[in-house]
Structure 1
Amino acid sequence: MMVKKNDRLIINIEDIGVNGEGIGKCEGYTLFVNNTAIGDKVLVKVMKAGKSYGYARLIEVIEPSVSRITPVCPIADKCGGCQIMHMNYAKQLEYKENKVRSCLERIGGFKNIPMEPICGMDNPYYYRNKSQYPVGRGKDGKPIIGFYAGRTHSIIDTEHCYIGAEVNTPIIKFMRSFIEEYNIEPYNEKEHTGLLRHILIRVGFKTGEIMVCLVINGNNIPHRDKLIEGLTKISGMKSICLNINTSKTNVILGEKIKVIWGEPYITDYIGSIKYRVSPLSFFQVNPVQTEKLYNIALDYADLNGNEEVWDLYCGIGTISVFLAQRAKKVYGVEIIPQAIEDARTNAKLNEINNVEFFTGAAEDILPSKYKEENISADVIVVDPPRKGCEKNLLDTILSIAPKRIVYVSCDPATLARDIKYLCEKDYEIRKIRPVDLFGHSV
């Protein structure tokens, strides 16, 4: 059968792709369809047709899968944030666990993987401590605040987000009225005009402290007194600031911060450890699951208080400070200077003195320290970005030969690649456990 663009076809969804799209076949021809679940029988319209596979848009669910649910969010199918909210949470966890296992088998070549059950959320709603709302104008000319549609920069107007902190709703409601009453011009990304680009909200889940940071295409915002008056009526407000971003770019944040009310940071806890979080800080967005993740990492590190530990890609020291509770000494490495400053502040804030931080790329610092100072390590923890670890870093780890390596990964494909390399030398997988930090998202 020759499948063409605009064809309407009925297919059964048999699998889920890496980006959460349903996969179905029509006489052997593969189609990828968003907003579908395994077991759905659907009517689709072909939008793009290649030789062996294509992409289609969901027209109608003819027979729903047993795992299909109606999303609590009315714009889930349009917003790019929650690609699999139409799947019940148990099925989401099964999909994610299978995704990790599949990468380890296909890319890593592993069999009989010692995988522990995925660690899911007790409540997969209202879990994000950080939200970034783009601001623009709709087709009717009215200001809109929301989130980008999937793979676009078209803003979906959003009154209420079901995965962001609940306090976001009154904050955004106030910002709408402020923008309209005082004619604050939203940013136009195409023309590089207008003032207000984004609204960044950060919330301390244990402290209740709130930060609102307005990203502006300028140096100040009009009617600042009215802005402060309105936002400070919201209980928990601790920091109101401006982020200056006048560059013609789609990068959200600029480098300069101006505090216009309160402190330049908020505080929150992961376990018993207190952290300061500024607008530019990297801090895990799901604090409840992060505590579970760090406890698993701590358990896997199997520390008894006598170990020297290297924490590579340490960020603001969240894992380093956590590990230092049970280690003799922890060394953290991070390429971003501001993050290292935050890491040192966080260690001091918690009166933790057995941790030392180095600024630089992990693939530069660790090899240099090993070559010049012949350093040793009982445990090495890595938490790299999606691209995984550089080969020379893995080679240095192999040369140092720690008793244990704890690999915290945000991408199962590069995880599989890297541990395959390590296991081809002197190591083996003892334990692996997925942790879901992003419910309803892939």
Structure 2
Amino acid sequence: MSRNRKPLPMLESVTIEAVAAEGKCIFHHGEQVVFVPFCVPGDVADVQIVKKKHRYCEGRVVRLVTPSPVRATPRCEHFGICGGCKWQNLPYEEQLKAKQQQVHDQLERIGKVELPTFRPILGSVKIWEYRNKLEFGCCDKRWFTQEELQDPSLDLAAQDNSAIGFHITGAFDKIYPISKCWLMDDLHNAIRNETERYAKEIGMTFYDVRAQHGLLRNLMLRTSNTGEWMLLIQFHYDEEGDEEKAKALLSHLADRFPQISSLIYVDNQKGNDTIGDLDLTTFKGTDFIYETMEELRFKVGPKSFYQTNTEQAYHLYSVAREFANLTGNELVYDLYTGTGTIANFVARQARHVIGIEYVPEAIEDAKENSRINGIGNTEFYAGDMKDILTEDFIQQHGRPDVIITDPPRAGMHNDVVDVILKAAPKRIVYVSCNPATQARDLALLDNSYRVAAVQPVDMFPHTPHVENVVLLEARSQ
């Protein structure tokens, strides 16, 4: 027999105090901190508590009593539902202040290392249409808002509920349909919406993630500063005739959008949407597009990692190159090199650069990027970082003068940190998309390296995510 739970309280006319982690804001209620999404500091609101823990609560705004004087009007019609741009209601200058503070707090509280004065955060060159890559899920069950569910004309049983859009947080099997997203050049909206319209016209089924059934599964769009477009469509062939429908859709999109220079598809029968281990087929054009940075050209394939904010990536890498302080005589190790962007970007200021990356296809692109740019002083190796970067590897290839590391959000494996310490470079340039794990790694390096400079960089306007570049100098110098 279940216990009767007390109803969670409604708190009236509370004042939102500050920005917190993950794009939420906070206020205090008695001894507890309450986290609330989709509000800004200075808002006065009625807040319904939806979850109560020992030390904190989570709530949601049910009525905005008095808007904050710093509140901005969101541009996107999907704001507050899709969950992608949690800070569109916060002016960009305030977003930058919050991100600068986030980096400071995490490095100070988690790292607990001596820190210099931080440089002011570098704001993004563009705050709209800044992304070069977006992915959209295709699903036979779309997400409905509470307002839509209360519409008496809604007939869930009779109507087509399939959609293309973003996954809703906490509902892995449902997609919220997107008609216009402001994060990428507007052509991507036309391509996505036409894909949905034509797929429904020819009777395509949309993917059911629970039943693992349905033909149209996932879209990935990439564009570049050279004006090229890539579209990768994942299908899931179930029935006779599915392949013909898939190729009909591809032909239609190729004819309708001549801007697509790389049209690729795959039949993905796996339980997830990852494509790293799948063979892709090029339907039209090439299987890559080019990005440019300074006088360099970078080949980017469908499996390649490339920073998703092209213009801001240049500023990020310029900071990394400045911190590396190369004179032309150094051996540089570029860890987690991706398609070799940083490695090739700094190669002309170094004696030799060695890049290491987990994805073999990215390493092939990195080698090709060196070739097409006439760079002859780079080497690239594919494999798990902790398995490749060993003392034997360093003995074979030379002890680095400078290490540049740009790990994933989880930060660096302890084994990698240990090898870096044994390699004993003069300088480490640590580029991070997660200052919390960066702070943890700085603490592991602190006995041998001091933090000499910190430069936050905003790559993702309207989200709480922030990049950070740290220069570490050997204490023995």
Give the TM-score range, shorter chain: over 0.9
Q: Which runs of 5+ in 1 are unaligned?
A: none
Question: Which residue of structure 2 lines up, in the alignment, with residue 439 of structure 1?
Answer: 461
Shift of residue 254, structure 1, vs aligned partner: 5.9
Aligned equivalent of 1:362: 385
Map of 1:215 onto structure 2: 234
Q: 2:455 is paired with a residue of what secondary structure? A: coil
Structure 2 match to 1:72 = 75
> Do the aligned residues in 2 keep the contact of 1:312 with 1:381 (CA within 8 Å)?
yes
Q: Which residue of 2 aligns with 1:328?
A: 351
- Equivalent residue of 1:296, what SS? helix
For 2:169 and 2:116, the matched residues in 1 are separated by 34
TM-score for both structures, normalised by structure 1: 0.94
Bigger mean CA deviation after superposition, 125-134 or 114-123: 114-123
- Equivalent residue for 1:9, pick from 11, 14, 36: 11
Matched letter for residue 73 of structure 2? T
- Work out the CA distance in 2 between the residues paired with 1:374 and 1:281: 26
After the TM superposition, which parts of structure 1 deviate over 6 Å for at least 4 consecutive aligned residues? none
2:211 counterpart (184, 187, 191): 191
Deviations, residues 67-126 of structure 1 (Å, cap 9, x unaligned): 211210011100121111111111111111111100111011135533111111132110
Q: Contact 2:134/2:222 (CA < 8 Å) preserved in 1?
A: yes
1:197-276 equivalences under 5 Å are 197-204=217-224, 206-218=225-237, 220-222=243-245, 224-225=247-248, 227-249=250-272, 251=274, 255-276=278-299
Please give the alpha-carbon distance, in whole angstroms, between the structure 2 residues aligned to 1:49 and 1:422: 38
2:150 alignment counterpart: none
- Distance change (3 Å), C-alpha of 1:325 and 1:221: farther
Counterparts of 1:371 and 1:155, CA distance in 2: 47
Pick closer, same or farther for the CA change 1:439–1:256 going to 2, 3 Å. Answer: same
Per-residue CA shift, 1:370-403, capped at 9, x if unaligned? 5643721111101111121122322222222212
Shift of 1:289: 0.7
Q: Which residue of 2 aligns with 1:143?
A: 162
Report the AA paired with residue 129 of structure 2: Y
Percent identity between matched residues is 33
| Partner of residue 45, structure 1 | 48
Q: What amino acid is the match of 2:381?
A: F
Aligned length in residues: 438
In 1: Cα distance, 2:276 partner to 2:175 partner: 17
CA RMSD of aligned residues (A): 2.0
The aligned amino acid for 2:427 is R
- Give the Cα–Cα distance (whole angstroms) in 2 for the partners of residues 434 and 350 of structure 1: 29
Conserved? CA contact 1:32–1:55, under 8 Å: yes
Task: Classify 1:252/1:147 alpha carbon distance in 2 versus 1 (closer, same or farther; 3 Å).
Answer: farther
Distance change (3 Å), C-alpha of 1:198 and 1:70: same
What is the CA-CA distance between 1:221 and the residue it aligns to? 5.0
Normalising by structure 2, we get a TM-score of: 0.87
Change (3 A) 1:356 1:374: closer
Residues 373-392 of structure 1: pairs in structure 2 closer than 5 A? 373=396, 375-392=398-415
Residues 23 and 252 of structure 1, relative CA distance in 2, 3 Å threshold: farther
User: Aligned-pair distance for 1:65?
Assistant: 2.0
Shift of 1:238: 0.4
Q: Which residue does the alignment assign to 2:176?
A: 156
- Residue aligned with 1:85, SS: coil
Q: Secondary structure in 2 aligned to 1:94?
A: helix
How far does the alpha carbon of each residue in 1:30-65 deviate from its partner, in whole angstroms, 9 at most, with x for none?
A: 211110112221111111122332211111121222
Secondary structure class of the residue paired with 1:148:
strand
Deviations 1:235-279 (CA, angstroms, capped at 9, x unpaired): 421011112211123547761211111111111213322111221
Q: Is it true that 1:283 corresponds to 2:303 in the alignment? A: no
- Contiguous gaps of at least 5 residues in structure 2: 143-155, 465-477
Equivalent of 1:393 in 416, 434, 446? 416
Change (3 A) 1:36 1:350: same
